[in-house]
Amino acid sequence: MNKKTAHILWFKEINKNDIPLVGGKGANLGEMVKAGIPVPDGFVVTAKAYYDFINSTSIKKKIMTEMSGLDVEDSDKLVKAAERVRLAILQAEMPKELIEEIKTYYNELSGESDKYVAVRSSATAEDLPEASFAGQQESYLEIKGWKSVATHVQKCWASLFTARAIFYRNENKFSHLKVGIAVPVQLMCQSDASGIMFTVNPVTNNDEEISIEAAFGLGQPVVSGEITPDQYVVSKKTGKITSRTIVPQDWQLTMEGKTPISKKYKKAQKMTNKQIVELAKIGMQIEKHYGRPQDIEYGVEKGKIKIVQSRPVTTLIQKTKNLAVEEGKGSKVLFEGLAASPGVFSGKVQIVKSPKEISKVKEDDILVAEMTNPDYVPAMKRAGAIVTDLGGRTSHAAIVSRELGVPAIVGTLNATKMLSSGEIITVDGASGKVYEGDITVVVEETKRSKIDLSKIKTATKIYVNLAEPELASEMAARNTDGIGLLRAEFIIANIGTHPKKFIKDGKKKEFINKLAEGLEKFADAFNPRPVVYRFTDFKSNEYANLKGGAEFESDEPNPMIGYRGVSRYIKDIDVFEMELEAIKIVRNKKGLKNLWVMMPFVRTVKELEEVKKIVSASGLRRSGTFKFWMMVEIPSNVILLDDFIDVGIDGVSIGTNDLTMLTLGVDRDNEKVADIYSEMNPAVLASLEKIVTTCKKRDVTCSVCGQAPSVFPELVEMMVDWGMTSVSISPDVIEKTREIVYEAEKKVLNRKKEGSGKKSSSSKKTSAVKKKAIKKTSSSKSKKKK
Known catalytic residues are: 396, 705
Closest to 265 measured CA to CA, from 194, 213, 195, 192:
192
Closest to 95 measured CA to CA, from 57, 58, 121:
57
Closest to 477 measured CA to CA, from 674, 268, 313, 661:
313
Closest to 745 measured CA to CA, from 764, 720, 769:
720
Alpha helices in 45-201 (DSSP H): 47-56, 59-67, 75-91, 96-110, 146-158, 163-171
- Cβ-in-10-Å burial (0-12, 13-18, 19+) of 620 comes to middle
Alpha helices in 137-295 (DSSP H): 146-158, 163-171, 220-224, 273-290
Q: How far apart are the C-alpha atoms of 369 and 367, rounded to whole Å? A: 7
Residues 731/466, Cβ–Cβ less than 8 Å: yes
Q: How far apart are the C-alpha atoms of 286 and 292, rounded to whole Å? A: 9
Among left, alpha and beta (phi > 0; psi -120 to 50; other), residue 411 is left
- The β-bridge partners of 653 are 631, 703
CA distances from 100 to 7, 53, 107, 435, 634 (A): 11, 14, 11, 63, 69
Residues 424/437, Cβ–Cβ less than 8 Å: yes
Q: How far apart are the C-alpha atoms of 325 and 321, rounded to whole Å? A: 12
Helix, strand, coil share (%) of the chain residues, nearest 5: 45, 20, 35
Q: What b/e string do you get for 492-503 counting C-beta neighbours within 10 Å, with b at 16 or more? A: bbebebbbbbbb
Q: Report which secondary-structure segment, H or E, holds 424.
A: strand 424-428
CB-based contacts of 257: which residues, under 8 Å, 6+ apart? none
